[in-house]
Structure 1
Amino acid sequence: MKKTNLKLWLPFLLSIMMVIGMVIGYKLRKDTIGPDSFIANPHNTAIGEVVRIIDKMYVKGTDKDSLEMKAINALLAQLDPFSVYISAQQLKEINDKVRGNYIGIGIGFEVIQDTVAITDIVKGSPAEKAGIKIGDQFLTFNDTIKMSGPNRSDLGVVNILEKVVGKKFKVLVKRQQKQFTTTLNKAMIPIFSIDAAYMLDAKTGYVKINQFSETTYREFMLALEKLKKAGMTRLMIDLRGNSGGVLTAATEIANEFLADQQLIVYTEGDKVGKTEYRCKRDGLYKDLRLTVLVDETSASASEVLAGALQDWDRATIIGRRTFGKGLVQDQFNLTNGGAMRLTVAKYFTPLGRNIQKPYDKNTAEYQRELTKRFHSGQTVLGDTSSPTGKAYKTPNGNTVYGGGGVTPDILVAYDTTKLPPSALDLFLKGTLTRFTFQYYMHNRPSLDSLTNSTALFDYPLPKDQIWEQLGQFALADSIHIDSIQSVAKENVLEKFRAFLAKDMFGPQGYFEINNHYDNIVGKGEQIMNQLK
């Protein structure tokens, strides 16, 4: 990637991430409608006829399935950005995320120097039970399937793992200079929604929710129970980067902070009517002081939760204006194993706000909206508190707006000095994460004496030496870090320490370190301390 203005690249990448993430966000329904409900014979349509004629008569060979998919995608693109076709393979991956589990062996990995290196192991997983350790390398499966070699990619490794036949398979493992063979069993592996749940200080609990799945509510309540025992009297919920998921997971969490029968959200559509989601009882934490952190990548179910708590004056929303996805999709299964997610309604917050931003022009224009926020200065310069739609009054008299995401009560602008274009490639290409893991492997004897992230935060890392080594490592990715200025350099080194904590202590370790440097978390702590 050429070095260019951050305002051009970062929002574009965020848009891609958001569209991929939000395709899983829909109103979960048990009576998902099958393909035969509306069309008895799918070929008795003009589209079906055209595809069959092309397949039979076109001057050269065609792929009928590919033509059908392109026709479907072109048709759905005329409706809205979130009515989409999902292939059978994509549907499996999406359903795994919705359920909160998948069939596998319970590892995280990076392909480093064309070899699969284990970077994370799920507790209680087959990998842990088989004695696999962080830093191990997988060389072969079942003696014949090579896991190392030129141009090996993360996706390629995932595909190999999925295609291994049977519940058991052999793996040749390299640990330091020794090799050994072990047997791994496939099992149900949880996909956790909670990345971190710990005490920021003696009173403030912090919970990071990365998605809303069928298991999120249970995870969340277990986390709050643990924090309450640790002395929590106020809570910070971090929804940044959470592009949504299952609506009921968000409404169940909202219920715990509201009173019986309070409206959480309602959906309304011409064909499906109106459905209200209300609290079923007084929430267990309806009097707990709250802050909620959001940004431009918080969407869908995240906006439902943040919007409900803001409308009822239950939480101070801090960060940057959310994405603005207020459309409801239902899933319709198709005969080829894929599915269609079709927009059938809109979300409305308790005050009647529709948080959906405009999408009248076309899907491409809609996806460029984040880029426009950066160009206009809304995200960088800090003017996202300006009205984005119709004004509404909360019970306490606060003004909130609809029609373009949830605008935070307290704005924290994006600081481009911490991530200029000269440093961006270190993150986009995965250079910093791979370097950090390699550094950990080479320095385990000293680093493994540190028992928690607090010890790592206080540990005097040799910054100059690390920077020099990173510079050499980055050259392989055609990245030159010599031009990175002091503020950005310090930010990169802070991220290095946070990534190191992730390698050593898991996702929570990352946030326990990174939150020390996070200005939105810092603002949240400041607001918490001001609340009576």
Structure 2
Amino acid sequence: MRNKKLQVWLPLIFSIVMISGMFFGFKLHQETGSRDGFFKNAKKTSLQEALDLIQDRYVDSVKMDSLQNDAINDVMNHLDPHSIYIPASNLGEMTEDLVGNFQGIGIEFNIFKDTVHVLYVVPNGPSDKAGLHIGDKILKVNDSSIVSKTLPSEDIRKMIRGESGSKVKLTVLRGNTVQYYDVVRGTIPLPSLDASYMLEPGTGYIKLNKFSETTYVEFMRAMEDLQKKGMQKLVLDLRGNGGGFITQATNIADEFLDGNKLIVYTEGTNIKRQDYRASKEGVFEKGKLVVLVDELTASASEILAGALQDWDRATIIGRRTFGKGLVQEQYGLADGSAIRLTVARYYTPSGRCIQRPYDHGKKIYMEELYNRYENGELLTADSIHLSKDHPYKTNGGKTVYGGGGIMPDVFVPIDTSLYTKSVTRLYLDGRFNNFVYQYYISHIPQFEQYKVPADLATKYQNTSDAWAQLVNYAMKDSINLSKIPEEDKKILQDRIKAYLARLKWRTQGFYQVYNMSDPVVLKAKEVLEK
């Protein structure tokens, strides 16, 4: 029974993991795209000779770009799961998260009933300066209608984005009035820091979603602010963080570790060992520290968590991490495409490599995550199947293991409401997000009275009304929420409040409200109080 319920929502989780595992976690020099043209002067291979013959002699016309892409992808499929080929047309978009910005107009949108709705306007961004508001409906982009049953979000995004300094004309419906805006595109930041605030007096909280070129700077600004507010303890949340630049993770680790401590080392068949060590006085070498992790915590995040665990500097709380211990470098090819090639493994200070086996192919590799759900690992630590053939010792003598991610010191099971089929459907097809957005838009005057997330969390008492409307909304699509367990109902009501906060204050507001009932955060506070 549980297996059938899981099949409904696991594909989404697997897609997130693939993005996290395949696109992040690169060694990379600080400049994206190291060693451009690495293969430019290489002698022709048999593969290239074959492609040239096809182009020059084949009886029919052939799309050589597509043929070449397929050939390279087939080669990459014989390597590890994290070595990938990136066509030139996709390279810019795939490096945006690592660079930390993109060129656009500074809005977040979604499509409801074939119409593009503005969900968020970046403060002081191009759209904000032009006058766009949350709730606006975009009808046209440069006189091209985007009201359609078939136009995908990606096509709309491409129409709206463009080089910084260029203009885009938007036709917008606000209420019952059609308005026109000329928006000058600009550089839009992609923050890696989702939230930073005081959980309670003396205890700070920082949530990082990746390790991009800007992460360390964002982290240090947050630390400075929290310390001014009297922070003595810290909760560092790395759940869902798929990784990024090693140097960003090691720089942050350095702020927690004293002396010349080893943070991580990398080594491969063709790459000599390289050590990353603490090298300066850190800003938080003594205060109590906990790190939150889950099955989507990968790569550079595991480097940081592993270093702090091996030196007994932090308590790791949550669930077993992804298990990606491979290092990629990006190499530019002559046609503007690139490959991200695994060149080394990384090892935590105790000497463990946390990379899980991949010798049976990518499909089996990814199914290992499914097995975690199937065997109940996310519900109880006793169900975790991790080889214990090669134990390692932390600095304080605690036994840890490699070969399958970072095992938390304190286990917290997954939210069991996800096993309720009706709740799963509500999340996966976007109905929950759609409902919260529509509820927010119809109650904007009510939410304008709340000036900070804590006000909404403590003073907003209308969750019963929102719940009743959600039940009716879901029933239109044959989703019956009236009979779900009371505990699941409470979780959904808490999430309604958190998602409402997200619409007003983005991720900062979401986590300030959500963390009040998040069992992992509550466990972290409990551990810090001991």
TM superposition score category, shorter chain reference: over 0.9
Between 473-482 and 242-251, the greater mean CA deviation after superposition: 473-482
Between 28-37 and 408-417, the greater mean CA deviation after superposition: 28-37
Match 1:32 to one of 34, 44, 58 = 34
Q: Match for residue 305 of structure 1? A: 304
Inter-partner Cα distance in structure 2 for 1:483 and 1:86: 47
1:475-514 map, 5 Å: 479-514=479-514
Q: Match for residue 194 of structure 2? A: 195
Q: Match for residue 136 of structure 1? A: 136
Query: Per-residue deviation at 1:244?
Result: 0.5
Counterpart of 2:525 in 1: which secondary structure? Answer: helix
Counterpart of 1:513 in 2: which secondary structure? Answer: helix
CA contact (8 A) 2:38 2:332 kept: no
Inter-partner Cα distance in structure 1 for 2:400 and 2:450: 46
Q: Match for residue 443 of structure 1? A: 443
Query: Per-residue deviation at 1:110?
Result: 1.3
1:9-158 map, 5 Å: 9-22=8-21, 23-29=23-29, 30=31, 32-37=34-39, 40=42, 44-53=44-53, 62-142=62-142, 144-158=143-157
1:334-413 map, 5 Å: 334-383=333-382, 387-389=386-388, 390-413=390-413
1:167-206 map, 5 Å: 167-206=166-205
Name the aligned partner's letter for residue 281 of structure 1.
K
Unaligned runs of 5+ in 1: none
Query: Per-residue deviation at 1:11?
Result: 4.1
Q: Match for residue 260 of structure 1? A: 259
Counterpart of 2:284 in 1: which secondary structure? Answer: coil
Inter-partner Cα distance in structure 2 for 1:38 and 1:54: 21
Inter-partner Cα distance in structure 2 for 1:192 and 1:268: 31
Inter-partner Cα distance in structure 1 for 2:137 and 2:398: 56
CA contact (8 A) 2:386 2:404 kept: no
Q: Match for residue 323 of structure 1? A: 322
Change (3 A) 1:234 1:163: closer
CA contact (8 A) 2:317 2:411 kept: yes
Q: Deviations over 1:282-341 (max 9, x none)?
A: 212111210000000000000000000001110000000000000001111112221101
Inter-partner Cα distance in structure 2 for 1:131 and 1:277: 47
Name the aligned partner's letter for residue 232 of structure 2.
T
CA contact (8 A) 2:40 2:334 kept: no
Q: Deviations over 1:72-123 (max 9, x none)?
A: 1121111100011012233211222111111111111111222221111222
Counterpart of 1:97 in 2: which secondary structure? Answer: helix
CA contact (8 A) 2:39 2:333 kept: no
Between 396-405 and 164-173, the greater mean CA deviation after superposition: 164-173
Name the aligned partner's letter for residue 40 of structure 1.
A
Query: Per-residue deviation at 1:58?
Result: 6.6
Counterpart of 1:299 in 2: which secondary structure? Answer: coil
Counterpart of 2:200 in 1: which secondary structure? Answer: coil
Unaligned runs of 5+ in 2: none
Query: Per-residue deviation at 1:384?
Result: 5.9
Inter-partner Cα distance in structure 2 for 1:244 and 1:165: 28
Name the aligned partner's letter for residue 34 of structure 2.
T
CA contact (8 A) 2:353 2:402 kept: yes
Between 387-396 and 193-202, the greater mean CA deviation after superposition: 387-396
CA contact (8 A) 1:115 1:139 kept: yes
Quote the sequence identity (%). 40
TM-score between both structures, scaled by the size of structure 1? 0.93
Change (3 A) 1:439 1:361: same
Q: Match for residue 285 of structure 1? A: 284
Name the aligned partner's letter for residue 243 of structure 1.
G
Inter-partner Cα distance in structure 2 for 1:176 and 1:459: 28
CA contact (8 A) 1:12 1:371 kept: no
CA contact (8 A) 1:429 1:477 kept: no
Q: Deviations over 1:29-81 (max 9, x none)?
A: 2582233546535xx33323444555667786643322222221121111100
CA contact (8 A) 2:164 2:186 kept: no
Query: Per-residue deviation at 1:179?
Result: 2.4
Q: Match for residue 244 of structure 2? A: 245
CA contact (8 A) 1:32 1:331 kept: yes
Query: Per-residue deviation at 1:488?
Result: 1.9
Inter-partner Cα distance in structure 1 for 2:214 and 2:25: 15
Between 295-304 and 392-401, the greater mean CA deviation after superposition: 392-401
Change (3 A) 1:3 1:320: closer
Name the aligned partner's letter for residue 331 of structure 2.
F
Query: Per-residue deviation at 1:9?
Result: 4.3
CA contact (8 A) 1:197 1:223 kept: yes
Q: Deviations over 1:417-438 (max 9, x none)?
A: 4542221121111111111011
Inter-partner Cα distance in structure 2 for 1:5 and 1:200: 38
Aligned-CA RMSD value:
2.3
Inter-partner Cα distance in structure 1 for 2:228 and 2:332: 45
Counterpart of 2:281 in 1: which secondary structure? Answer: coil
Name the aligned partner's letter for residue 248 of structure 1.
T
Q: Match for residue 221 of structure 1? A: 220
Query: Per-residue deviation at 1:154?
Result: 2.2
Inter-partner Cα distance in structure 1 for 2:151 and 2:483: 31
Change (3 A) 1:247 1:123: same
Name the aligned partner's letter for residue 406 of structure 1.
I
Counterpart of 2:474 in 1: which secondary structure? Answer: helix
Counterpart of 1:200 in 2: which secondary structure? Answer: strand
Inter-partner Cα distance in structure 2 for 1:318 and 1:503: 29
CA contact (8 A) 2:320 2:406 kept: yes
Name the aligned partner's letter for residue 76 of structure 2.
L
CA contact (8 A) 1:239 1:294 kept: yes
Query: Per-residue deviation at 1:460?
Result: 4.7
Between 443-452 and 361-370, the greater mean CA deviation after superposition: 443-452
CA contact (8 A) 2:290 2:524 kept: yes
Inter-partner Cα distance in structure 1 for 2:469 and 2:266: 54
Inter-partner Cα distance in structure 2 for 1:178 and 1:191: 32
Inter-partner Cα distance in structure 1 for 2:460 and 2:254: 44
Q: Deviations over 1:140-167 (max 9, x none)?
A: 223x122323234322211211368961
Inter-partner Cα distance in structure 1 for 2:5 and 2:299: 26
TM-score between both structures, scaled by the size of structure 2? 0.93
Change (3 A) 1:61 1:428: farther
Change (3 A) 1:453 1:163: closer
Query: Per-residue deviation at 1:183?
Result: 1.8
Between 102-111 and 47-56, the greater mean CA deviation after superposition: 47-56
Counterpart of 1:357 in 2: which secondary structure? Answer: coil
Change (3 A) 1:326 1:318: same
Inter-partner Cα distance in structure 1 for 2:257 and 2:383: 27
Between 375-384 and 224-233, the greater mean CA deviation after superposition: 375-384
Inter-partner Cα distance in structure 2 for 1:289 and 1:362: 41
